[in-house]
Amino acid sequence: MHTILTGDRPTGPLHLGHYVGSLRNRVRLQSEHRQFVMIADLQGLTDTEPAKVRRNVLEVAFDNLAVGLDPSRSTLFIQSQLPELAELTLYFLNLVSLARLERNPTVKEEMRQRGFERDVPVGFLAYPVSQAADIAAFKATLVPVGADQQPMIEQTNEIVRRFNALTGSNVLVECAALIPQQGRLPGLDGGAKMGKSLGNALALGASPDEIRAAVKRMYTDRNHLRVQDPGQVEGNVVFAYLDAFDPDTTGVAEMKAHYRRGGLADTVVKRRLEELLLEQLAPIRARRELLARDADRVREILREGCDRARTVAAQTLREVRQALGLEYFR
């Protein structure tokens, strides 16, 4: 049994990309492992205004619970409610050089996307350190991440090793990345990444009309003009979604073969996907609406989750302080 730390930034409602990339897996993982699911509001604050972060904390909780996260199996909590995480981040900042942070390829790419140069807020540049603290505070051994997030895990383990070496202790443990077999879901427009701000996302709580509209605008093979012509499956968004949502993998393989040799209309493939999405998202949407009507109950779940998570992080921090020689009064 592993200890897992995973989570989401509450900077917008979650979408199908999150669902396929992580939320769906959490439901599976919670029955086999000890799973902590963090609503990363502090991380949200590194590049998003406070009011927006606050607004989305409950939304992200609804999303997680709606897909089947079971609060009696997974611990769902809010990052900012555990000051231990901030404290550990501060200790970790002494163990990382500026050059090392600037070399982190994930941070580099995200800075480029946001147009940050030297005017990058230090909190943003340092968020891998904050992430390392989150992971280390739970002594997580398994961290689900996208393939592009692998450098974050390496950085975490570097810090963990450095801390243990500095203090001559074995307080902290290293973790491994858990990279999902299912690759990243492309945006509706074929963009590599789905994102609300990119305008190519379908929200997890989408209505049937929104689902239909999304499938309609979804990119296929732009050269597949006549039904009888051979079509391309690679880079074809509709097939990428079928791979992610159709449980009938044989059927999908057959459709792909048919599409490749010609004679399969885009509309037919899209109809299949539309059915699947409507069917799979309907119960999520229904549960989400129920949860939203009972926000107090969700707040109670979060409060209990925070208490449980805090107990674990507080124990690690006692050990960390002891190792650093900061326990003066016992």
Binding segment toward a copy of itself, per CB under 8 A, in 95-103, 192-200, 241-249, 267-275: 95-103
54 near a copy of itself, judged by CB under 8 A: yes
Of 262-321, which residues contact a copy of itself (CB under 8 A)? 299, 302-303, 306, 321
Q: Which two tokens stand for residue 152?
A: 């974050």
Categorise residue 149: left if φ over 0, alpha if ψ from -120 to 50, beta otherwise: alpha
CB closer to a copy of itself, 25 vs 80: 80
Identity of the amino acid at 287:
R
SS3 326: coil
Answer positive or negative: Cα dihedral of 241, 43, 158, 168: negative
Q: Cβ of residue 252: shortest distance to a copy of itself, in angstroms?
A: 43
99 near a copy of itself, judged by CB under 8 A: yes
Binding segment toward a copy of itself, per CB under 8 A, in 30-38, 46-54, 228-236, 266-274: 46-54
SS3 47: coil
Out of 5, 40, 45, 201, point to the residue binding a copy of itself (CB under 8 A).
Answer: 45
328 near a copy of itself, judged by CB under 8 A: yes
CB closer to a copy of itself, 42 vs 233: 42
d(CA 18, CA 5): 15
Which of 11, 21, 16 lies closest to 42 in space, CA to CA?
11
Out of 60, 96, 255, 284, point to the residue binding a copy of itself (CB under 8 A).
Answer: 96
Distance of CA 285 to the CA centre of its chain: 19
Of 24-43, which residues contact a copy of itself (CB under 8 A)? 41-42
CB atoms within 10 A of CB 235: 13
Answer positive or negative: Cα dihedral of 264, 270, 274, 277: positive
CB closer to a copy of itself, 264 vs 323: 323
Residue spans of beta strands (DSSP E) within 156-235: 176-178
Q: Cβ of residue 197: shortest distance to a copy of itself, in angstroms?
A: 19
CB atoms within 10 A of CB 72: 8
Q: Cβ of residue 204: shortest distance to a copy of itself, in angstroms?
A: 21
d(CA 285, CA 292): 10
Residues contributing to the site for a copy of itself (CB under 8 A):
41-42, 45-46, 49-51, 53-54, 57, 78, 80-81, 83-84, 86-87, 89-91, 93-99, 101-102, 118-126, 129-130, 166-167, 299, 302-303, 306, 321, 323-326, 328-329
